[in-house]
Structure 1
């Protein structure tokens, strides 16, 4: 297989069993036209741990789109702001949130509850190191995006999510199959 950061693979009409671990969870599409699914919850930190911080986002469930055409993970701007606060990140004058690169390893995990299963991203998976004026800077891959009603509000699980999770877009069963990538 390709080493991390080498890109992905598009397989039409099949599933590569060697690319994921555990069973594929088939999450029903809630609206045709997008690969839209129901997200049960979104939490910051490890459930039940002392450091668990559940920001006021996706309360009672929400809708999400699994989208290869979106680089980051987006959500309603007020909810992303609450999530960033729970992560302990700083806001700079841009739509992105920054964090000291030295602090990335100590950031909590972010877990997406989908179809009764947890899909987790560690801080090394939801942050990106960039260079600004020759200095390294780490930005978080979460961005506020307000999708207006009736389509929204929506979360968009883009490439940062899909880089760590094997996805099957299954038209026959009208679902998105997800499993952690190997």
Structure 2
């Protein structure tokens, strides 16, 4: 699966499209045959805030994580703060300066995949266009759920026969 912010996204069934990625594919075994849950870690500015299960879910738009882990992750992003429910339309959202400078990544099998900064921005606040709402949201759950925002930063392979997920750098 290749997701792009612009044209060119595709769902390639029954194989892999070598024109959509470059380099090696990193495969991870799934925890069960019924869910696309793999082991990985989350980092902001080189500081790990979580290591454990991550559900790869193409049906989810955002990225969700356990409350404590997400709070720690956002704590590594300069100028971030919890967003009041009335401003963000729900709990678990964070705001941050739109012109932020941070290194954001997800790591699988010792391979780090950088997260595109533009994909971290869900939207700008209506009253202050210099402050953005983040696409990584805290929930009461024990694993991270990586949706389309994450998948724009990687080429993703769902291999049901081998019960594994593969990631590669997009072309």
> Structure 1 length as normaliser, TM-score?
0.80
Unaligned runs of 5+ in 2: 86-90
Report how many aligned residue pairs link the two structures.
Answer: 163
User: Hey, what does 1:162 align to over in structure 2?
Assistant: 151
CA distance in 1, matches of 2:7, 2:68: 34
Contact preservation (8 Å) 2:27, 2:166: yes
User: Hey, what does 2:44 align to over in structure 1?
Assistant: 44
Aligned residues: CA RMSD: 2.3
CA distance in 2, matches of 1:7, 1:137: 30
CA distance in 2, matches of 1:12, 1:113: 26
> Aligned pair in 2 of structure 1 residues 133, 3: CA closer, same or farther (>3 Å)?
same
Alignment of 1:100 onto 2:97: yes
SS of residue matched to 2:69 = helix
1:124 Cα deviation after fit: 2.3
* Cα displacement string for residues 88-128 of structure 1 (whole angstroms, at most 9, x for unaligned residues): 21222023211222x23x2x111211122111114223223
1:32 Cα deviation after fit: 2.4
CA distance in 1, matches of 2:164, 2:42: 20
> Aligned pair in 2 of structure 1 residues 7, 127: CA closer, same or farther (>3 Å)?
farther
SS of residue matched to 1:78 = helix
SS of residue matched to 2:76 = helix
Unaligned runs of 5+ in 1: 46-51, 148-152
SS of residue matched to 2:31 = strand
> Structure 2 length as normaliser, TM-score?
0.84
User: Hey, what does 2:136 align to over in structure 1?
Assistant: 142
User: Hey, what does 1:171 align to over in structure 2?
Assistant: 160
1:8 Cα deviation after fit: 2.2
CA distance in 1, matches of 2:43, 2:4: 28
Contact preservation (8 Å) 2:119, 2:149: yes
1:138 Cα deviation after fit: 1.6
Contact preservation (8 Å) 2:105, 2:113: yes
Alignment of 1:116 onto 2:110: yes
Alignment of 1:69 onto 2:59: yes
Contact preservation (8 Å) 1:127, 1:140: yes
1:25 Cα deviation after fit: 1.0
